[in-house]
Amino acid sequence: MSMPHHPLPSCAVITGVSKGIGKALALRFGREGIPVIGCARGRDALGQLRQEWDLTCPDVPLHTDAFDLADPAAVQQFGAWVLTLFPAPGVLVHNAGIFRPGSILGEAEDGLEDLMRINLYSAWHLTRILVPPMLAQGRGHVFTLCSVASLQAYPGGASYAITKAALLGLTRALRAETRDTGLKVTALIPGATWSDSWAGADFPDNRLMQPEDIADMVWATCRLGPAAVVEELLIRPQKGDL
């Protein structure tokens, strides 16, 4: 006897929605008929997403606006706006983040704090706004965009690795706290995936993963039945990490 899938999510909330994995996620949910609420820092890129959305899934609602989630006040504003559109997210994806090369001894004095604000604190604050109504409805799915750097630091990416390791810690803590509530929590741990961070890199197309690969796995993960959850999803390029 086959177990039923979860009901389709009412909506998907995605931060950093305008490019890379965030954009691929939005379009994947949109093609499945799921309304998307998203934010990013740049209005031009949001406009480009809108154009592609209107060609791909014009009958599905897309709500986007520009918020800089490095600012805690902007996180509060975005979270409040989400709740004016839907009483609770069906899916919440903490995707907003930045990479900046550097070393512990060589980075700017405030380098770690800068990355912490967007890579970790934005997810912390938005979780505290949007997860309570998800718990009240007794279901939902939270994804955090971690990284293989969450598992293994490497030279030249000190603050990035520190913040992504902390984000994985946040995800594990949220999973431990909510496992009896019906809320699912998944850490996405992708290796090298094409994005603006790799712009200008001299790699063949098949050396890095495509954002659509990650989006397909997110969709499959959130469609599992109620008795199953993927706690941590590690995805690497076929030829290994760079």
Give residue 19's Cα distance to chain centre: 11
Give 144's contacts (C-beta < 8 A, 6+ positions apart).
93, 94, 123, 167, 168, 170, 171, 185, 186, 187, 188
Do residues 26 and 62 touch, judged by C-beta distance below 8 A?
yes
Q: Which has the minimum average pLDDT: 22-31, 205-214, 223-232?
A: 205-214
pLDDT at res. 33: 97
Q: Which residue has the higher pLDDT, 113 or 197?
A: 113
240 is a domain residue: no
Which of the 8 DSSP states describes residue 166?
Answer: H
For range 190-213, the mean pLDDT: 81
69 is a domain residue: yes
76 is a domain residue: yes
Q: Considering only CA atoms, which of 204, 218, 213 is closest in space to residue 236?
A: 213
Predicted confidence band at 198 (pLDDT cuts at 50, 70, 90)?
Answer: low
pLDDT at res. 37: 98
Q: What is the mean pLDDT of the chain?
A: 94
Do residues 22 and 40 touch, judged by C-beta distance below 8 A?
yes
Tokens 């994806």 -> residue: 93
2 is a domain residue: no
DSSP-based three-state secondary structure for 4: coil
Total domains in the chain come to 1
211 is a domain residue: yes
Q: Considering only CA atoms, which of 193, 213, 55, 29 is closest in space to residue 38?
A: 29
> Domain span at residue 145?
12-235
Predicted confidence band at 125 (pLDDT cuts at 50, 70, 90)?
Answer: very high
Q: Within 10 A of 18 (CB to CB), how many other CB atoms are there?
A: 23
Q: Residue 166 maps to which CATH number?
A: 3.40.50.720
3 is a domain residue: no
Angstrom CA distances, 113 to 18, 29, 43, 74, 207, stand at: 24, 33, 25, 17, 32
Do residues 125 and 75 touch, judged by C-beta distance below 8 A?
yes
Predicted confidence band at 242 (pLDDT cuts at 50, 70, 90)?
Answer: confident
7 is a domain residue: no
4 is a domain residue: no
pLDDT at res. 6: 65
Evaluate if residue 2 carries a pLDDT over 70.
no
